[in-house]
């Protein structure tokens, strides 16, 4: 089999996605407990994750950023899965 085709994986891993992240920025929306996470991929595509805390007295910046990042990652799974499926289709690996 062609070694190029052997190099196309059959699954997307968390490390695959993390390796494709170019930049991550966090913003606490003014006057709220809503944390936004902007994740820009190496190809320039951007996804936004968000998290909110109901009780302002219990807001924790580190947790807000963690959950907002997880929300952004959850949006990337189907996008990266589609990209891999397309790569495999183009390589006739269906």
Per-position DSSP letters for the chain, written without gaps between them: --HHHHTS-SS--HHHHHHTEEEEEEEEPTTSSEEEEEEEETTS-EEEEEEE-S-GGG--HHHHHHHHHHHHHHHHHHHHHHHHHHHHHHTT--
Domain count, the chain: 1
Can you give the pLDDT at residue 5?
Answer: 56
pLDDT tens for the chain, 94 residues long, are 444 556 888 899 999 999 999 999 999 999 999 999 999 999 999 999 999 999 999 999 999 999 999 999 999 999 999 999 999 999 887 6
Q: Which residue bears the tokens 């899965």? A: 81
CATH code at position 24: 3.30.160
Q: Supply the range of the domain harboring residue 29.
A: 3-90
pLDDT tens by residue, 28-51: 999 999 999 999 999 999 999 999
Can you give the pLDDT at residue 6?
Answer: 65
């Amino acid at each position: 089999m062609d070694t190029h085709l052997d190099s196309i994986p059959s699954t997307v891993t968390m490390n695959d996605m993390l390796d494709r992240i170019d930049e991550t920025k966090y913003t606490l929306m003014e006057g709220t407990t809503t944390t936004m996470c902007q994740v820009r991929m190496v190809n320039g595509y951007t996804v936004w994750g968000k998290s909110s805390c109901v009780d302002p007295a219990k807001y924790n910046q580190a947790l807000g950023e963690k959950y907002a990042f997880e929300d952004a990652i959850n949006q990337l799974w189907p996008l990266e899965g589609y990209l891999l499926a397309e790569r495999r289709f183009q390589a006739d690996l269906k």
